[in-house]
Amino acid sequence: MQRLFHHSLHVEYALFPKGLKWLFSAQLLRGAAQQMAGLFIPLYLYTRIHSIGFFNISFFAHVSDLQKTVFLTCAFFLVMRLVTLVTIFPLSRFIRMVGLVKSMFIGNLLNMGMYLALYMANTNAWFLVLAAVLEGFVVTLYWVPYYTQFVVHAELKHLGQDVGALAFLDKLVRIGMPMLGGIIAASLGFRMLHLASAILFLLAAVVVLLGNEMKFSYVVTIKDFFAWLHLPAAQRLATGLIGKYIDDAVFLLWPIFIFFIVGTVERVGYVYSLVLFVSLVIAYFMGWYLGKHKGRTLFVLCSSLLSALWVARIFVQQVWHIITIDLVDRLAVGVYEPIFDTVFFRKSRGKHVYHIQIYREVVNSLAAICIWSIIILFFILPFGWTGAFLLAGFGILLSIAMGGGAHEAG
């Protein structure tokens, strides 16, 4: 899951480009749901820690609520990625049989099921496990076909502009969603927030079915993955993906950090909406710039700035610190992510486009198992947020490898 919840789509400055208008429309619905409720999943898990019997054993007697929340959040995403890793190759065959559009339809329905499982988790904590498992299936069934379709239909020479332009439109749709999600969670409860998100995913599932079906005859195997990983270009790409996932993973925990400073869920939503509003325009204009420039130097500068901001988070103590850092962070991300995504999409062009999307999630899943385990260890040992933030800063620097080399990774 990216910082902007998979914001990158294709748009040729026309609102609904030919071949992707239904994909784009469905993604806006998904984006609204994810920004409204996905952001608050760690905070919802915080509300569940005292109702989970596992935390009542003597080992957790002197463990703080913050540590329990981080443990539960890490465990949620760890289970999710374990499911992805175990099922991705069998599901890749399923996608080949049913087609990309039908697979995305199923993925949206499973996302709906995930939020319904969170809705039911108030009655039984095992629904949290079900939610994580369903989300693990979604990674393969939705995001692999999504990225495959994007790369197939994107105009290569306008790719930088396309990514930046849609990031702008996507942010415009989502700008008030964190605030709305915070208000719903605080006033009506998380159950209503999850129910509203489930409805949006159902609508997205219906819309995505209106797209033109695409099928591939390729079979992707574990042997293919390891053969690909021996290529130098693939190793650079994998290093970049791992670095980016480290940043994304720690950023998923950032709402917990904010919550324990500002004190309420709705205030977390206000902070996110304010930051999105201020950083909105940069995504559009940087897309225009990236369409005319390679952006390598700018990518390195923004990566370095984002890495420094993670270090700065260690010293955050007040709300205005959070807002200042997040504003600068979003401005830098508005440059960094379009470049990162554009380079990845260009490197995944060609006859092995479907393979590369599978490999991407295998790499991310392997990295996730290590990263979430390390973060749990940080909070068991006296490293906590300092260790997590330094790890994220290191990850951003690793992601610079994505921009290195001119050869394709396919």
Per the structure, the count of domains in the chain is 1
Average of pLDDT values for 180-197? 90
pLDDT of amino acid 283: 56
Is 203 within the bounds of a domain? yes
Does pLDDT of 141 surpass 70? yes
Q: Whole-prediction pTM value?
A: 0.87
Is 244 within the bounds of a domain? yes
Task: Quickly state the pLDDT bin for 296 (edges 50, 70, 90).
Answer: confident
Average of pLDDT values for 261-285? 73
Is 3 within the bounds of a domain? no
Percent of the chain with pLDDT over 90: 43
CB of 303 closer than 8 Å to CB of 396: yes
Does pLDDT of 394 surpass 50? yes
**Rounded Cα gap, residues 309 and 393, in angstroms:** 8
Q: 237-246, 261-270, 277-286: which has the highest mean pLDDT?
A: 237-246
pLDDT of amino acid 347: 83
- 339-387: pLDDT as tens digits: 888 888 888 877 788 899 999 999 999 999 999 999 999 998 889 999 9
Q: Look up the domain containing 239 and give its range.
A: 22-403
Is 181 within the bounds of a domain? yes
DSSP 407: S
Is 16 within the bounds of a domain? no
Does pLDDT of 311 surpass 90? yes
- 381: number of Cβ within 10 Å: 9
Of the candidates 90, 67, 185, 78, which has an alpha carbon nearest to the alpha carbon of residue 132? 78
Among 9-13, 91-95, 167-171, 221-225, the range scoring the smallest mean pLDDT is: 9-13
pLDDT of amino acid 388: 96
Average pLDDT, the chain: 83
**Rounded Cα gap, residues 303 and 330, in angstroms:** 12
pLDDT of amino acid 285: 59
The DSSP-derived string for 283-321 is: HHHHHHHHTTS--HHHHHHHHHHHHHHHHHGGG--SHHH
Phi, psi angle pair for 211, to nearest 5°: -75, 165
Task: Quickly state the pLDDT bin for 13 (edges 50, 70, 90).
Answer: very low
Does pLDDT of 194 surpass 60? yes
Is 12 within the bounds of a domain? no
Residue type, 325: I
Place of tokens 């290529």: 231
Q: Which residues of 171-207 are buried (b: 16+ CB within 10 A; e: fewer)?
A: bbebbbbbbbbbbbbbeeebbebbbbbbebbbbbbeb
- 115-126: pLDDT as tens digits: 999 999 988 888
- 61-82: pLDDT as tens digits: 677 888 889 999 999 999 999 9
- 128-137: pLDDT as tens digits: 999 999 999 9
Is 15 within the bounds of a domain? no
* CATH number of the structural domain spanning residue 71: 1.20.1250.20
**Rounded Cα gap, residues 129 and 117, in angstroms:** 9
Does pLDDT of 190 surpass 60? yes
Is 5 within the bounds of a domain? no
